């Protein structure tokens, strides 16, 4: 037991820094799903898209901040494409996300030019501070944490504005929003695009943090984000804008500490996806399990009626 706690304690700073980066992805999953009522699967494509775009630009000696900005622009375009396919052609949101995600794999491979690329020799957003002698892990926590705080604050203020309220209205009731003169097409397009831009931002920061980019880096990131979101919402609830926005960030940090705990107990990394899927299933089924069968009409009786 002491060895398990020792390993867990040593993993906390690393997974905390990783959780902060992945929280951008979780926020990108939450925005379409909860705010716009637009379940979206594009994240598994836009996360590596942001990483590949950032990596290629950094290899071309482009400033890391500019590379991150362009990665967000590409992520926005990918998310907007998903929304456009749904809105223009009436294709289900999940299918539209799958189509864009599938196409993005080939696009990411074209952008990167190979399956992976090393960035160890290139300067990144952490380099100036690491050269000053600061602890690298602590530095990542502070810098990424500052970006997370800025993102949360910006989103909170935006959703409190008239335009933000209009976007929430589109997600709550598209018909009522349209009756109030709100352009559902524009707000959905922009909202899904912004969410994918956040996901791409997470990918661009991750490649700088780990020192390499890989076209397969988005595999399984969606289920991780959903698990983190479920945790955050179970703890904080969704009764206010602030709670809803904080849920993906808090949930991601807790989720990655649970991952650390599983690894400390000896769970193989290859089994984490199975554990994550089971956990998401449990979180989704928990409200129904709490209610039990009280007051529920059996399915056979419903069919007879």
Give the C-alpha separation, 116 to 12, whole Å.
28
pLDDT in tens, 103-147: 999 999 999 999 999 999 899 999 888 766 668 888 899 999 999
Residue, of 44 and 285, whose pLDDT is higher:
44
Query: Which residues, 6 or more positions from 168, have their beta carbon under 8 angstroms from its beta carbon?
Result: 35, 159, 241
Per-residue pLDDT, 52: 97
Per-residue pLDDT, 262: 82
Q: Which fold has domain 2-271?
A: ABC transporter involved in vitamin B12 uptake, BtuC (1.10.3470)
Give the C-alpha separation, 81 to 288, whole Å.
35
pLDDT in tens, 211-233: 999 999 988 899 889 889 988 99
**Rounded mean pLDDT, 195-215:** 96
Q: pLDDT-derived band of residue 1, with 50, 70 and 90 as boundaries?
A: low
Strand, helix or coil for residue 88: helix
Domain ranges of the chain: 2-271
């Amino acid at each position: 037991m002491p060895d398990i706690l020792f390993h867990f304690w040593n993993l906390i700073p690393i997974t905390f820094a990783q959780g902060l980066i992945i929280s951008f992805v979780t926020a990108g999953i939450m925005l379409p799903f909860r705010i716009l009522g637009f379940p979206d699967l594009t994240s598994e494509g836009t996360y590596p898209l942001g990483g590949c775009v950032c990596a290629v630009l950094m290899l071309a000696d482009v400033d890391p901040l500019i590379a991150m900005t362009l990665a967000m622009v590409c992520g926005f375009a990918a998310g907007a494409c998903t929304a456009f396919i749904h809105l223009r052609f009436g294709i289900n949101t999940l299918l539209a996300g799958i189509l864009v995600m599938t196409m993005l794999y080939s696009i990411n491979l074209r952008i990167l030019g190979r399956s992976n690329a090393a960035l160890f020799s290139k300067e990144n957003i952490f380099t100036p501070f690491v050269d000053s002698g600061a602890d690298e892990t602590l530095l990542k926590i502070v810098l990424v944490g500052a970006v997370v705080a800025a993102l949360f604050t910006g989103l909170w203020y935006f959703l409190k504005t008239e335009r933000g309220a209009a976007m929430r209205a589109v997600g709550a009731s598209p018909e009522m929003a349209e009756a109030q003169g709100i352009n559902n097409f524009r707000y959905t397009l922009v909202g899904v695009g912004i969410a994918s831009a956040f996901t791409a931002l997470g990918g661009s920061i991750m490649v700088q943090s780990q020192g390499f980019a890989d076209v397969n880096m988005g595999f399984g990131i969606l289920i991780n984000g959903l698990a983190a979101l479920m945790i955050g919402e179970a703890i904080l609830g969704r009764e206010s804008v602030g709670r809803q926005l904080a849920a993906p960030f808090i949930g991601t940090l807790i989720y990655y500490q649970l991952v650390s705990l599983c690894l400390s107990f000896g769970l193989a990394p290859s089994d984490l996806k199975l554990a994550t899927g089971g956990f998401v299933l449990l979180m989704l089924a928990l409200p129904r399990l709490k209610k039990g069968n009280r007051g529920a009409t059996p399915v056979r009786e419903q069919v007879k009626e």
